[in-house]
């Protein structure tokens, strides 16, 4: 008796879901949340296509404006921009151009929200195929089309990083690597690399405590993942725990606070490399549950509290901390290659509002630190107002604070990019900012 044959998922079904996710992002929802609504059987393929679309959305929208001066209804526009984002580059297109066009038209016919516009979609896309070279050339002068970021974002990077802005934008449009942090209580990077080699998985060392896979794979396929040997964490994020704890010595376990701790990656890293009396704090109870799940898988323990880090009286017991990690809420402008929706969700006004939140957190947490204690401020942002400017302002108003040696701004970069930038270590990592502050005795 022959086994049951699994029928391949038709592309038109995936394109319908991709367009639905794009509509959700355009309405303000995160891509992650929108993808959760996609059926499990479609989700892996849809996610890959969604990421491709979001990384080419600026170009697709510029092309759509040439093909249809008046914007079609939202569902039709989302499907048309989805197709244009996937087909515009002959080099990077995931499918043959005529297949994409045919399947887009099929997707429109099978959806009541778009079936009356099938002929319009077909006409636009076939015109694009006929006039591809001229249409693409006509959009090259548009910086949003060329760099696939909002205009304000491009202008801000050009002003703040005049020598590196193009490299940052190019990196943002590439796929991020999958890096792992090796649990120091269970293994070591070289030993885990040997385990991966034995399992037929290619990888290279990544900093002092991690490895980077040659090709991303499901965590369930990673040797030792379920047993807590490794965790997924970018190389830049792996700098936080050792930077905060290096040089801190105590007869007793260090009293440490991880503020804004969810989902718990940095919390776990702190516990992996030192014996700590650690409090992990987050304002969201559901995200606190994720911290607990992370610690349980790794066999680690911490006091997990739900509370607002900017309001210590609501959760603090009055005991001063030896070390505080403040991974502050930010624009996430340094992790756009992992979350390509972020660039389209953020507004320029968000940056100033986030900077105010960061300043309020710094002001609230600083009094909780012992003399000679350390606070590590970090954000996954490349914008100066969330990094260097924030810390310089804090230092100007806090004479007890000293800035110790720390990386400063790390630009997102990959192996394909050119020269390194100031303060940027070698490797393939996200964009971050780090400032290590020490509290002088009064």
Map tokens 């440490």 to a residue.
256
pLDDT value, residue 252: 87
pLDDT value, residue 418: 38
Half-sphere exposure (Cβ direction) of 131: Cα atoms closer than 13 Å? 14
Same domain, 71 and 189: no
Indicate whether 1 belongs to any domain: no
pLDDT value, residue 407: 94
Same domain, 226 and 84: no
Same domain, 406 and 320: yes
Give the span between the Cα atoms of 190 and 184, in whole angstroms: 11
Same domain, 87 and 113: yes
Backbone angles phi, psi at 43, to 5 degrees: -60, -45
Map tokens 């801190």 to a residue.
248
The tokens describing 378, both together, are 């970090």
Task: Provide the β-strand partners of residue 382.
Answer: none
Same domain, 18 and 57: yes
Give the span between the Cα atoms of 354 and 357, in whole angstroms: 5
Nearest to 20 by CA among 40, 2, 1, 38: 38
Is residue 343 a contact partner of residue 441, using CB atoms and an 8 Å limit? no
Cis peptide before 263 (omega within 30 of 0): yes
Indicate whether 2 belongs to any domain: no
- The DSSP annotation for 376-433 comes to EEEES---GGGTHHHHHHHHHH-TTEEEEEEEEEE--B-TTS-S--TT--SSSB--EE
Same domain, 334 and 225: no
Domains in the chain, number: 3
User: Which segments within 109-232 are labelled E, that is strand?
Assistant: 178-182, 203-206, 210-213, 230-232
Same domain, 259 and 209: no
- DSSP three-state, residue 206: strand
Angle between the N-to-C axes of helices 118-130 and 74-87, in degrees from 0 to 180, rounded to the nearest 10: 30
Indicate whether 327 belongs to any domain: yes
Indicate whether 6 belongs to any domain: no
Residue 264 falls in which region: left (phi positive, over 0), alpha (psi -120 to 50) or beta:
left
Same domain, 254 and 395: yes
The tokens describing 418, both together, are 């050119």
Q: Is 330 one of the catalytic residues? A: no
Nearest to 89 by CA among 139, 44, 27: 139
Indicate whether 167 belongs to any domain: no
Task: Provide the β-strand partners of residue 375.
Answer: 324, 437
Give the span between the Cα atoms of 340 and 51, in whole angstroms: 6
Is residue 221 a contact partner of residue 243, using CB atoms and an 8 Å limit? no
Residues 278, 283, 289, 291, CA torsion sign? negative
Same domain, 182 and 292: no
Indicate whether 156 belongs to any domain: no
DSSP 8-state assignment for residue 115: G
pLDDT one-digit tens code per residue, 348-377: 999 999 999 999 999 999 999 999 999 999
What's 309's domain CATH number? 3.40.50.150
* CA dist 350 → 188, 286, 384, 397 (Å): 40, 24, 14, 24
Torsion of CA 219, 222, 225, 230, to 10 degrees: -100
Q: In what order do the strands lie in the sheet with 210-213?
A: 203-206, 210-213, 178-182, 230-232
pLDDT along the chain (442 residues), means of 10: 63 97 97 95 95 98 95 96 97 95 97 94 97 97 98 98 96 94 96 96 92 93 95 96 90 94 97 96 96 96 97 97 98 96 98 98 98 97 97 96 95 57 55 97 82
Exposure string over 349-371, b if 16+ CB within 10 A, otherwise e: eebeebbeebbebbebbbebbee
Give the span between the Cα atoms of 305 and 241, in whole angstroms: 20
Angle between the N-to-C axes of helices 132-139 and 57-67, in degrees from 0 to 180, rounded to the nearest 10: 110
Indicate whether 57 belongs to any domain: yes
Indicate whether 162 belongs to any domain: no
Half-sphere exposure (Cβ direction) of 134: Cα atoms closer than 13 Å? 7
Is residue 59 a contact partner of residue 76, using CB atoms and an 8 Å limit? no
Give the span between the Cα atoms of 375 and 96, in whole angstroms: 53
pLDDT one-digit tens code per residue, 68-86: 989 999 999 999 999 999 9
Same domain, 46 and 182: no
Same domain, 353 and 216: no
Cα angle value 276/310/293 (rounded, 5°): 45
Domain range for 123 is 11-147
Annotated catalytic residue within 124, 260, 378, 380: 380
pLDDT value, residue 207: 86
Kind of pairing between the strands at 432-439 and 401-410: antiparallel
What's 195's domain CATH number? 3.30.70.1170
What's 27's domain CATH number? 1.10.940.10
Same domain, 423 and 280: yes
DSSP 8-state assignment for residue 168: H
């Amino acid at each position: 008796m022959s086994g049951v044959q699994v029928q391949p998922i038709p592309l038109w079904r995936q394109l319908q879901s991709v367009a639905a996710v794009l509509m959700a992002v355009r309405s303000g929802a995160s891509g992650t949340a929108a993808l959760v609504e996609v059926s499990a059987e479609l989700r892996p393929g849809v996610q890959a296509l969604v990421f491709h679309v979001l990384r080419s959305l600026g170009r697709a929208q510029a092309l759509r404006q040439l093909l249809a001066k008046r914007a079609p209804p939202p569902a039709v526009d989302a499907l048309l921009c989805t197709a244009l984002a996937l087909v515009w580059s002959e080099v990077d297109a995931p499918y043959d151009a005529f297949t994409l066009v045919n399947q887009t038209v099929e997707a429109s016919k099978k959806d009541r929200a778009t079936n009356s516009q099938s002929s319009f979609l077909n006409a636009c896309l076939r015109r694009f195929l006929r006039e591809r070279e001229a249409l693409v050339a006509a959009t090259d002068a548009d910086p949003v089309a060329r760099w696939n970021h909002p205009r304000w974002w491009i202008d801000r990077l050009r002003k703040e990083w005049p020598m590196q802005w193009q490299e940052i934008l190019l990196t943002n449009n590439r796929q991020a690597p999958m890096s792992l942090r090796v649990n120091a209580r269970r293994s070591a990077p070289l030993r885990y690399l040997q385990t991966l080699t034995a399992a037929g998985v290619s990888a290279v060392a990544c900093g002092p405590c991690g490895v980077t896979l040659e090709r991303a794979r499901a965590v369930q396929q990673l040797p030792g993942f379920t047993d807590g040997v490794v965790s997924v964490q970018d190389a830049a994020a792996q700098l936080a725990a050792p930077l905060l704890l290096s040089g801190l010595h105590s007869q007793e376990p260090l009293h440490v606070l991880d503020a804004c701790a969810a989902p718990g990656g940095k919390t776990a890293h702190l516990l992996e490399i030192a014996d700590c009396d650690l409090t992990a704090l987050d304002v969201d109870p559901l995200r606190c549950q994720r911290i607990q799940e992370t610690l349980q898988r790794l066999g680690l323990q911490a006091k997990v509290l739900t509370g607002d880090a900017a309001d210590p009286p609501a959760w603090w017991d009055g005991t001063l901390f030896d070390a505080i990690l403040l991974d502050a809420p930010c624009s996430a402008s340094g992790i756009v290659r992992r979350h390509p929706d972020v660039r389209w969700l953020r507004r320029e006004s968000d940056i100033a509002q986030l900077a105010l939140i960061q300043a309020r957190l710094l002001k609230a947490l600083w009094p909780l630190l012992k003399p000679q204690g350390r606070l590590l401020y970090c954000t996954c942002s490349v914008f100066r107002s969330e990094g260097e400017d924030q810390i310089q302002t804090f230092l100007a108003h806090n004479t007890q604070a000293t800035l110790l040696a720390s990386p400063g701004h790390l630009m997102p970069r990959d192996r394909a990019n050119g020269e390194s930038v100031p303060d940027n270590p070698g490797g393939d990592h996200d964009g971050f900012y780090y400032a290590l502050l020490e509290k002088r005795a009064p």
